[in-house]
Structure 1
Amino acid sequence: MDIASLFACFVIAILFFVIVAAIAFLGSLPGRIAQGRNHPHVDAINAASWIGLALGGVLWPVAFVWAFIPFGNSTPAEGSEVETLRKQVAELQAELDSLKSASA
């Protein structure tokens, strides 16, 4: 074997490992995103991403988008809205109690 053939084998081996690493990174990306966002369906998203990659990338975009869908009070807008409503209810309750005590 000459030096050019050895170099070609080395380049092919490096490319193989880079492709495997890229597939592993892409396969775990939706699951890691969902876990970081405390998504309730982390396991399903992770499974869909790996199955999607195994099927040629068919389900992977679905899993990727699914990882970003907010659930519950996970978004700041919903959380602040709920907090505002709680304050309003507390103020109304205090006003109602003061009206009851004034009429009695």
Structure 2
Amino acid sequence: MLEYFALGLLVFVGLVLFYGIIVLHDIPYEIAVRRNHPHQDAIHATGWVSLFTLHALWPFLWIWAMTYREDRGWGFGDGKSPQAHVTHLEHMVADLRHRLDRLESRQAALQPESRLTRQEEA
């Protein structure tokens, strides 16, 4: 009876270890899914390949999955959405247009005076 219990325990431990390793290798893929990573399928396939390469690729998969976030993309952003950056740039362009209009109006106001002074000198 004890021999059957030991055999059952060995089979159970073997299955848990086998399943645990597969779940462990799916962690980068799960991270990629949560972050809406554009390379989800590649990360998943490389995770399976990593099972057969003695886990050599797994740390790189983790880094690959962690480098992308939907709100900031690949880089280190300030946490603002791309729309906030576009709005900021639109405000800057509007301000620059306003300043340019003021400068052009000043130049137009000064231009007739400069014509008069040139005519008077001649």
Identity %, equivalent residues: 27
1:100 counterpart residue number: 101
> Do 1:34 and 1:67's aligned partners in 2 also have CA atoms closer than 8 Å?
yes
Q: Count residues with an aligned counterpart.
A: 102
- Using CA pairs under 8 Å that are at least 6 residues apart, name the structure with larger relative contact order, 1 or 2: 1
Q: State the alpha-carbon separation in 2 of the partners of residues 33 and 81 from structure 1.
A: 21
Amino acid at match of 1:93: A
Task: Indicate the larger mover: 30-39 or 71-80.
Answer: 71-80
Is it true that 1:55 corresponds to 2:53 in the alignment? yes
Cα displacement (A) at 1:51? 0.5
Is it true that 1:24 corresponds to 2:22 in the alignment? yes
TM-score, length of structure 1 as denominator length? 0.75
Q: State the alpha-carbon separation in 2 of the partners of residues 36 and 81 from structure 1.
A: 18
Segments of structure 2 that go 5 or more residues without pairing to the other structure are: 109-122
1:22-41 per-residue CA deviation (whole Å, 9 max, x = no partner) reads: 02201221111111111111
TM-score, length of structure 2 as denominator length? 0.65
Segments of structure 1 that go 5 or more residues without pairing to the other structure are: none
